[in-house]
Structure 1
Amino acid sequence: MPRDNDFTLELTLRQHTPLIHFQADQPGATLRATELKPKLDRFLLKKNSKLPARKHPNGHQSLDYKIFIEPLEEIEVFPLEYPLMNNKTQEMKRDRHGNTVNGTLSTFFANMGPEWKKKPKKLVFCPNTKVTISSLDTELIRIIRENISEFFMTHNFGMRQSKGFGSFTVEKIGTETVEQNWNGLDYCFQVDNLNQIQTPNTYYKHKAPGTRFKTMEKLFYAIHRFHQTLRSGINENGIYVKPWIFFYAKDKGIQWDKKTFKQKFLGNSCVKEQKEHHNATKDSPIGYQSDQDNYLVRDLLGLSTNQLWRKPFEAPYMSKDCINKYGFTLRHPKKKKNSSNTSKSADKYPGSHPKKGNIPLNKIKRFASPFIYKPVLKNGVWYVGIATKKIPPELFKHNFILIKESSRNVADMIEDMQMYPKFTASDFFKFVYDKRQQIANHIKAKKDNQKHLLIQSMYQSLQKVHP
């Protein structure tokens, strides 16, 4: 005969990183059941497709259980942005229009647009939260009990969850303490000496953030730097890092797509100038030439809707003609959310090519990074787990159009570029892991450069956690 606790599962969750919450000022604002349950349903049904699920008209499936969430401690609510300080005047930093310049967390793009200004999202944090799951189906409760720790280890919540916001783990099931493991993740790295990490922002002393924000700023700064080494690389004062995706593309015999863009939009003569100035070898991003078809590769780690190509500040080696070709946006034109597929105007870019007339829009609106970062504080040390996700097959089925915009006029475009069809996130990260000891060869910086040391320490601790 079933006991009372066979119908109910009580969890104590530990929160590691804050949620970006759109109702932060409401009482009890924390993890939302309306986000948690659909995710848990999908996770369980992926584990066992034969579970009795209710099918909804929209195609979604749901399982028969209820969730109740209760914060066990006071919820901290704090802003996502804080005013920066002008180091010379010691006053608030302001832009040329007199507006306050704010600093935020590295992996978050600041509150922008009219909706953000009306009701900006905030960060919420509650160290411990109680989650009660109840159902008359005792077998379903048993299955949830067996899988709930892995579920929370492989999922984050709220906005920017793939970058580590909204990280929870199961601390207890009932009164039983749960041993933390990396079940469901693929890799992890350690962020050593978090307090010694130097972030670039200096906050205005009269409105400075508290300890929680400063800790998160350092943690997300480290995650941001790690992700840059995978996709974009780093080119800042004092440090230059070639991204792993370039080395992966070269290993597959694919030309670096930034070189393809430069050849198209700046011209071969400008590419030649850069190669000569940097003494670029055939193994460098600007020097490597492939006989294969050109593919998009960086966007497989997250589709960038636009890239700003700024004019160089100081480039005495570059001709005036080449410098003048800079200062444009490279854009993936895409459909808006409310665009109708049947409307002719919805399939056209709001601009035209001087020779080809109206330009069709890309069908893929957005594609997030195929990695999930899972920050976990364990015994006073920050670890960041990594899960690799499958890339949606439709991403490889479409040709992409890239448009060069200058002063809002469409100047030129590249048609019919495709994503590299054999790419998988797991294969890419295995490539990174197998060659992780070579990270020092990717970096040009002084030995005591703090960014250099941070990157090296993260790669030295990188380990595989899934057999």
Structure 2
Amino acid sequence: MNVIKLKFSLKQITPMIHFQNENGATIRATELKPKLDRFILLWMVYENNKVKCNEQKIDSETEILKRIVKEKDYDNWIIDEKHIALNYKMRIKAICKDENINLLNHSNKRQKYLGNADYILDNRNKDEEDKYVSTFSKKILVEIICFDELLADKIIELLPILIDLTAFGLQQSKGYGNFRVNKIFKENKKQQYKPDIERNYIKLLKNFNTINNNVLIYKLKKGFNGYEKSLDEIAKLNGLIKKGMVTKVYEPDYLKNNESIINEKTAMKIHLRNKGYKIKNIPKSLNLDNNKVYYTRGLLGIAQKYDFAVTKCTNPRGNEINIEFVVKVTDKEEGKALRFPSPLHYHVAKDYKTIYIVINNKSLQVLQQLNPKIEFVGKIGDVSIGNISAQLSQKEEFDLEKFFDFVVLRKNENISKLEDNQNG
């Protein structure tokens, strides 16, 4: 049996937020290896034009992989068919942990990246419970022992693309936990590799967009001085995108029947008004019609809990209230609970001059076709205030590319769409 030793040197770009507070804490091999296994197989499925799946299923990619494994196209690569595991071993080591990670501002208070990052500990309160820590290592080594030459070459080809596409830890979709492959070694000999995130993204588009626009990629080229400014810019951009999902100031063609839609926040306020709460800026003529309530924010990811403060809203005692809504999303046919993480992921270039927005457009389209049942179960403290039903806009009602053109590109001349015919 051939034993091939590979080594990848990674450069950390942004802090990783997680629960591990011990020295050497970094990306876990138990997280990276399954992602790499799936990515390699899925890449080869599209590369070999073997894409056949049920587009109505939100786990359609898993269906593809299980079918390929069952057909044993890569029989000598697979060590565990049940968990879709490939035949190699991985170990990850963090070197030179940076203890001076900048989480504090000049007033000695925690920076609030993304609007609220109070769940991050600074170095003075490591024993505080129910908090996460933020780590930054100057160098990460991914060591792999592989038992097949062709599989080893595929890992060399695709691990850098996966690392450019993936982040790790908490808030990974918002720019935290970014890493980039810096150097590659095979049998302790340095391989020719020039780090180029844009070239890797163009390869990604060419491979996965042969049939549909499964992946959309936009880039903000501006130039930032370190990860702090990059994370702040991501927070602003993410806020703009979310605001664009619910605004009614204009009638864009990316959201059909916009004027007849009641967003979930407005529906909640009408519901409270009907319960006797005082709500300003809600016309008395506006009634709660569940057929018109749309959870448009849900197209950009559905969280299990949904907290917000209702402004200009008081209970009969004159107190301002906070509402917690638990969101239940289920398959209408099977009644199974569905999870839908954000299809938007932000990735920071190694030199901090560019931020990329990678969108899993296929996962959004599958969710729209599935048209799940959405219900908000509301509480004020321990008191229930009832349920609100909502729905998602279908593909013919909401077009994500048109949305980005209208809301994002139109307002920022530094943002452009990455096309697969561009030179990497």
TM-score with structure 1 length normalisation?
0.63
Change (3 A) 1:265 1:126: same
C-alpha distance in 1 between matches for 2:160 and 2:397: 26
1:461 aligned onto 2:418: no
Q: What SS does the corresponding residue of 2:235 show, helix, strand or coil?
A: helix
Larger RCO: 1 or 2 (CA < 8 Å, sep 6+): 2
* Preserved CA contact (<8 Å) 2:219 2:417: yes
Residues 316-340 of structure 1 deviation map (CA, whole Å, 9 limit, x = unaligned): xxxx8999596241512559xxxxx
| Contact kept? 1:76, 1:124, Cα under 8 Å | yes
C-alpha separation in 2, matches of 1:424 and 1:181:
33
1:374 corresponding residue in structure 2:
347
SS in 2 for 1:251: coil
Map residues 194-205 of structure 1 onto 2, 5 A cutoff.
Answer: 194-195=224-225
| Equivalent of 2:400 in 428, 436, 447 | 428
- Structure 1 segment 122-201 matched on structure 2, within 5 A: 122-174=133-185, 175=190, 176-182=192-198, 183=201, 184=204, 186-190=216-220, 192=222, 194-195=224-225
Amino acid in structure 2 at the alignment position of 1:230: I
Whether 1:105 aligns to 2:101 is no
Q: How many residues align?
A: 357
Distance 1:136 1:187 in 2: 35
Q: Please give the residue correspondences for 1:6-21 in structure 2 after superposition, counting only pairs within 5 Å.
A: 7-21=4-18
Displacement after TM superposition at 1:422 (Å):
3.1
- Separation in structure 1 between the aligned mates of residue 177 and residue 28 of structure 2, nearest angstrom: 11
Q: 1:108 to 1:158 in 2, by over 3 A?
A: farther
Corresponding letter in the other structure for 1:463: K
Asked if residue 418 in structure 1 is aligned to residue 391 in structure 2, the reply is yes
Please tell me whether the aligned partners of residues 371 and 387 of structure 1 are also in contact (alpha carbons under 8 angstroms). Answer: yes
Moved more, 297-306 or 323-332: 323-332
Q: Does 1:34 align with 2:30?
A: yes
* Cα 1:330–1:252 shift into 2, 3 Å: farther
Distance 2:251 2:98 in 1: 41
Matched, 1:310 2:310: yes
Q: Tell me the secondary structure at the aligned position of residue 236 of structure 2.
A: helix
CA distance in 2, matches of 1:124, 1:30: 7
Is the contact made by 1:300 and 1:419 (CA closer than 8 Å) also made in structure 2?
A: yes
Counterpart residue number, 1:210:
none
Q: In 2, Cα distance between the equivalents of 1:137 and 1:303?
A: 40
- Say whether 1:23 aligns with 2:20: yes
Deviation digits for residues 205-246 of structure 1, max 9, x if unmatched?
xxxxxxxxxx43322121111111111469xxxxxx949999
Q: Distance in 1 between matches of 2:244 and 2:127?
A: 30
Shift in Å, 1:55: 3.0
Return the letter of the residue paired with 2:239: Q
Distance 2:165 2:146 in 1: 24
1:63 to partner: Cα distance: 0.3
Aligned amino acid, residue 54 of structure 1: I
Which residue matches 1:55? 80
Tell me the CA shift for residue 128 of structure 1.
3.1
**1:329 alignment partner in structure 2:** 323
2:128 paired residue among 110, 117, 131: 117
Instruction: Indicate conservation of the 8 Å contact 2:345/2:359, yes or no.
Output: yes
- Where 1:377 maps in the other structure, the secondary structure is coil
CA–CA distance in 1 between the matches of 2:137 and 2:129? 25
- The answer for unaligned runs of 5 or more in structure 2 is 45-67, 205-214, 330-334
Opposite residue 327 of structure 1, the aligned amino acid is: I
Aligned sequence identity (%): 21
Distance 1:102 1:167, change over 3 A: closer
Alpha-carbon contact 1:15-1:168 (below 8 Å) kept: yes
Q: Is the 8 A contact 2:173 2:345 kept in 1?
A: yes
| Secondary structure of 2:168's aligned partner | coil
Moved more, 267-276 or 253-262: 267-276
SS at match of 1:66: strand
CA distance in 2, matches of 1:112, 1:14: 22
| Structure 1 stretches lacking a partner, 5+ long | 86-91, 93-100, 196-214, 235-240, 277-285, 314-319, 336-361, 440-455
With structure 2 as the length reference, what TM-score do the two structures score? Answer: 0.68
Residue pair 2:175, 2:348 contacting (<8 A) in 1 also: yes
Distance 1:251 1:394, change over 3 A: closer
The Cα of 1:103 is off from its aligned counterpart by 3.8
The match for 2:296 is: 297
State how far apart, in whole Å, the 1-side matches of 2:249 and 2:89 are: 44
Poorly superposed stretches of 4+, deviation over 6 Å: 243-246, 268-273, 289-292, 320-323
**Residues 409 and 130 (structure 1), Cα distance of their counterparts in 2 relative to 1, 3 Å cut:** closer
- Structure 1 residue identity aligned to 2:271: K
Structure 1 residues 78 and 25: alpha-carbon distance in aligned structure 2, compared to 1, 3 A threshold: farther
The CA RMSD over aligned residues, in Å, is: 4.4
> Contact conserved, 1:404 with 1:412, CA < 8 A, in 2?
yes
1:222 to 223, 227, 233: 233
> How far apart are residue 424 of structure 1 and its match?
10
Q: Write the distance in 1 (CA, Å) between the matches of 2:248 and 2:11.
A: 34
Letter in 1 for 2:414: Q
SS of the counterpart of 1:194?
Answer: coil
Shift of 1:11: 2.1
